[in-house]
C-alpha cells in the first residue's frame, strides 16, 4: 500500500513499510525512509507506484481549468476527493484525485485552504478583488521590466522626469521607478547587459560610456538625466536645503514714514541715547 502525504508544505508519495496507527514508516521513491504522522496522510492507494502517481498528477493538474473548477465547487467547505468526484463525474482514480489536490493547492486566490486536503472556494467579491489586485501587480511588473530595459539601453524612461530628484537623493523603494532603477543597476554588472543604443535613426552618435554604470547616479548620468557630475552634487545640496526652490517668497517692502517731520532722516524719531562704538 502507498500513501500521498504532505510534509513541510510539499506533497510526497511513498510505500508503507509499517503502520503504527498514529504514524507510518514510509519509504520514498529514492529509498529514504521517514516517519509520517497519520494525520498528514491525504490518500492511500495500491497503484500506481508513488513516483508515477506524482508525475501523472502534476501533468494532469496543469490541464485543469481553475475558473471551471471554481464554478462547480460547492460554497461550503469540501475535501479534495469530493470535488474530484464532481469534476470527473464519478469516483476518481488516485492520480485524478491527486491532480485535483495539486491544482487546488496551487490556486490560493480561488480556493482558501481550511485544513489538510480541505478547501473552500473564495466568495465572488473577494475573488474579483484578488484578481484585480493580481492584474495590477502584473501590470506594474511589466512596467518595471520595460523601464529596466530602457535604462539598460541607455534611455531615460519618461516616467523618471517628474521624480528625478527624489530618485537620485531620496528614493522610495515602494515606487516602480525605484525598483526599475535598482534592477537596472544590479543587471548592469552582468556581462553583456549594458547595451547603450541611439534613441532613433539619424541622431548623433551616442556618447554613452561603454563601461557599465556601477551605481544609480552613474546610470542616470549615462542616460542623460544629468548634464554633469557637478549638477548631481549641486542638486543634492539644493534638495537637502532648498527643496522648495532658491527664490524668496513674495513679500511687501517696508514703508518708511514720510520725510519732513520732526526727528531725523526719513521722519524717524531721534533716540535719547548717546551713540558709541565698540571698535
Q: Residue 261 — very low, low, confident or very high, per pLDDT cuts 50/70/90?
A: low
- Residue 173: inside a domain, yes or no? yes
- 71 shares its domain with 152: no
**pLDDT higher than 60, residue 262:** no
- Whether residue 24 is contained in a domain is answered as yes
Q: Would you place residue 74 in the very low, low, confident or very high pLDDT band (cuts 50, 70, 90)?
A: confident
In a domain, 53, yes or no: yes
Q: What angle do CA 137, 141, 142 make, to 5 degrees?
A: 120
| Residues 112 and 77 both lie in one domain | yes
- Look at residue 257 and tell me whether its pLDDT is greater than 70: no
Q: Are 117 and 6 in the same domain?
A: yes
- 276 inside domain: no
Q: pLDDT grade, residue 266 (50/70/90)?
A: low
Q: How far apart are the first and last CA of the chain?
A: 107
Residue 274 located in a structural domain: no
pLDDT at 198: 44
Residues 63 and 155 in one domain: no
Tens digits of residue pLDDT in 88-140 = 988 999 999 999 999 999 999 999 999 888 999 999 999 999 999 999 999 99
* Same domain membership, residue 222 and residue 158: yes
Considering the domain architecture, whether residues 75 and 177 belong to the same structural domain is answered as: no
pLDDT in tens, 5-35: 988 888 999 999 898 888 899 889 888 898 9
99 sits in which H/E element: helix 94-105
In a domain, 219, yes or no: yes
**Does residue 42 sit within a domain?**
yes
Residue 203: Cβ-neighbour burial (10 angstroms; 0-12, 13-18, 19+): exposed
Question: What pLDDT band is residue 68 in, cutting at 50, 70 and 90?
Answer: very high
- Is the pLDDT score of 244 beyond 90? no
142-170 average pLDDT score: 91
Are 49 and 105 members of one domain? yes
Residue 21 sits in the same domain as residue 48:
yes
Q: Which helix (H) or strand (E) holds 187?
A: helix 176-188
Average pLDDT rounded to a whole number, residues 30-47: 89
Query: Do 53 and 150 fall into the same domain?
Result: no
Report the pLDDT averaged over residues 31-55: 90
| 183-241 residue pLDDT tens | 998 888 777 767 766 444 334 334 456 666 778 888 888 888 888 889 999 989 999 99
Distances (CA, A) of 194 to 41, 144, 214, 225: 51, 17, 11, 17
Lowest model confidence (mean pLDDT) among 169-173, 215-219, 229-233, 257-261: 257-261
Q: What pLDDT score does 202 carry?
A: 38
pLDDT band at residue 260, thresholds of 50, 70 and 90? Answer: low
The domain boundary, picked from 71, 88, 121, lies at 121
Number of structural domains, the chain? Answer: 2
CA 262/CA 245 separation, integer angstroms:
44
The residue segments making up the domain with residue 221 are: 135-196+211-241
Reported as a pLDDT band with limits 50, 70 and 90, residue 267 is low
Inside any domain, residue 126: no
Does 230 lie in the same domain as 159?
Answer: yes
Q: Which of 89, 121, 153 is the last residue of a domain?
A: 121
Amino acid at each position: 500500500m502507498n500513501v500521498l502525504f504532505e510534509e513541510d508544505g510539499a506533497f510526497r508519495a511513498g510505500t508503507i513499510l509499517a503502520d503504527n496507527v498514529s504514524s507510518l514508516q514510509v519509504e520514498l521513491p529514492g529509498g529514504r525512509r521517514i516517519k509520517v504522522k497519520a494525520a498528514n496522510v491525504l490518500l492511500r492507494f495500491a497503484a500506481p507506484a508513488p513516483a508515477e502517481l506524482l508525475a501523472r498528477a502534476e501533468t494532469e493538474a496543469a490541464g485543469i481549468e481553475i475558473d471551471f473548477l471554481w464554478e462547480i465547487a460547492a460554497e461550503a467547505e469540501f475535501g479534495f476527493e469530493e470535488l474530484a468526484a464532481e469534476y470527473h463525474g464519478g469516483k476518481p482514480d488516485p492520480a485524478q484525485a491527486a491532480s485535483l489536490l495539486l491544482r487546488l493547492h496551487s490556486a490560493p486566490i480561488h480556493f482558501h485552504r481550511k485544513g489538510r486536503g480541505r478547501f473552500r472556494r473564495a466568495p465572488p467579491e473577494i475573488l474579483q478583488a484578488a484578481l484585480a489586485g493580481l492584474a495590477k501587480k502584473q501590470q506594474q511588473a511589466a512596467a518595471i521590466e520595460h523601464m529596466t530595459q530602457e535604462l539598460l539601453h541607455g534611455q531615460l524612461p519618461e516616467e523618471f522626469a517628474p521624480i528625478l530628484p527624489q530618485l537620485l537623493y531620496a528614493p522610495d523603494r515602494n515606487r516602480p521607478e525605484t525598483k526599475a532603477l535598482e534592477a537596472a543597476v544590479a543587471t548592469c554588472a552582468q556581462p553583456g547587459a549594458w547595451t547603450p543604443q541611439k534613441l532613433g535613426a539619424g541622431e548623433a552618435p551616442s556618447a554613452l560610456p561603454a563601461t557599465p554604470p556601477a551605481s544609480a547616479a552613474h546610470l542616470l548620468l549615462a542616460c542623460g538625466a544629468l548634464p554633469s557630475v557637478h549638477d548631481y552634487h549641486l542638486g543634492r545640496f539644493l534638495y537637502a536645503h532648498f527643496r522648495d526652490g532658491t527664490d524668496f517668497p513674495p513679500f511687501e517692502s517696508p514703508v518708511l514714514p514720510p520725510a519732513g517731520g520732526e526727528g531725523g532722516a526719513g521722519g524717524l524719531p531721534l533716540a535719547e541715547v548717546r551713540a558709541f562704538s565698540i571698535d
